[in-house]
Amino acid sequence: QWTPGHIIDDAIARIRRQVGSDRVILGLSGGVDSSVAAALIHRAIGEQLTCVFVDNGLLRLNEGDQVMATFARNMGVKVIRVDAEERFLSALAGVADPERKRKIIGGLFVDIFEEESNKLTDAKWLAQGTIYPDVIESAGAKTGKAHNIKSHHNVGGLPDTMKLQLLEPLRELFKDEVRAIGEELGLPHAMVWRHPFPGPGLGVRILGEVKKEYADVLRLADAIYIEELYRTGHYDKISQAFAVFLPVKSVGVMGDGRTYEYVVALRAVETKDFMTAGWYPLPYADMAHISNRIINEVKGINRVVYDISSKPPATIEWE
């Protein structure tokens, strides 16, 4: 009989058998999969696990602090936080092409992760939150069956030059099982049921060149949008929702003055597999309230639009 408790016990026994008294490192992104992997491995081997959390400056509002609070403070997991915002932003300066942006962000992540793990000279294992659908997808990619429309980058995909053995305790599990064991392990509900967030983060939600000023504006708008989706009960009915920063200025009026500021687009989709998706019919009254809040509360935005494109032909992300 299958229960989250059984899966956990089984996984813990396996992890202990596999790694013995070796040290393990794990790249923590704050997403569901790496978070559950971290919690599970920590339950199995405690202090033998060290997590590396790279803050690339492209995370959502307060995300880095939340990851540290959950893992380091509440659970006692060893987490090295690398503040790499400047490195990422300077590498991205002047780059507008979406694929180049992805490659830069993915490549820099690997470099930084390697630098940190080289400092942990006695680590023998690299843990990853690979889940069953990832295994299938990458098998497809090798036989050329998967359509690599955008080069997806995850915490995975590290080079073989790292002389570490792979530890992938979620490899046989589906997303709903991963969530169930995450809750059983005591991770916060909001972390376990969170919408997916792409590896390149806000880097692909700021169209064209990424600037800190844009990221700061986008973080505030996105936080208001998501807060309102929770408050109105829509969040759990939506598969993925986020705000997108458009580096386009348009004219507005505020009081008796004229404004000339940027645009934010709101995206919300329903999907089973993220291969096709429909836009979510958010009620007009909720749209109106969210739009008013963003325009009133976020300096630099004077116009909000709602994305009514399905996938295909549009993708879920804008880049």
Is the CB of 22 or the CB of 270 nearer to ligand XMP?
Answer: 270
CB of 240 to ligand XMP, least distance (A): 5
| Beta carbons of 242 and 199 less than 8 angstroms apart | no
CB of 216 to ligand XMP, least distance (A): 21
Is the CB of 222 or the CB of 261 nearer to ligand XMP?
Answer: 222
21 is in an annotated binding site: no
29 is in an annotated binding site: yes
Is the CB of 87 or the CB of 153 nearer to ligand XMP?
Answer: 153
Q: At what angle do helices 85-92 and 98-119 cross, to 10 degrees?
A: 150
310 is in an annotated binding site: no
33 is in an annotated binding site: yes
Closest C-alpha among 63, 18, 26, 31 to residue 42? 26
32 is in an annotated binding site: yes
| Beta carbons of 2 and 102 less than 8 angstroms apart | no
> Beta strand pairing status for 49-55 and 23-27?
parallel
Is the CB of 15 or the CB of 126 nearer to ligand XMP?
Answer: 126
Long-range contacts, 257-263 (Cβ 8 Å, 24+): 259/302, 260/302, 261/300, 261/301, 261/302, 261/303, 262/214, 262/217, 262/300, 262/301, 262/302, 262/303, 263/301, 263/303, 263/304, 263/305
Q: How many residues can be counted in the chain? A: 319
CB of 29 to ligand XMP, least distance (A): 9
CB of 3 to ligand XMP, least distance (A): 29
CB of 152 to ligand XMP, least distance (A): 4
Is the CB of 257 or the CB of 313 nearer to ligand XMP?
Answer: 313
Interacting residue ranges for ligand XMP, rule: CB under 6 A: 102, 150, 152-154, 196, 198-200, 240, 274, 311, 315-317
309 is in an annotated binding site: no
* Coil, strand or helix at 233: coil
| Residue 297: DSSP 8-state | H
- Please report, in range form, the residues annotated as the binding site for ATP: 29-35
Binding site: what residues are annotated?
A: 29-35
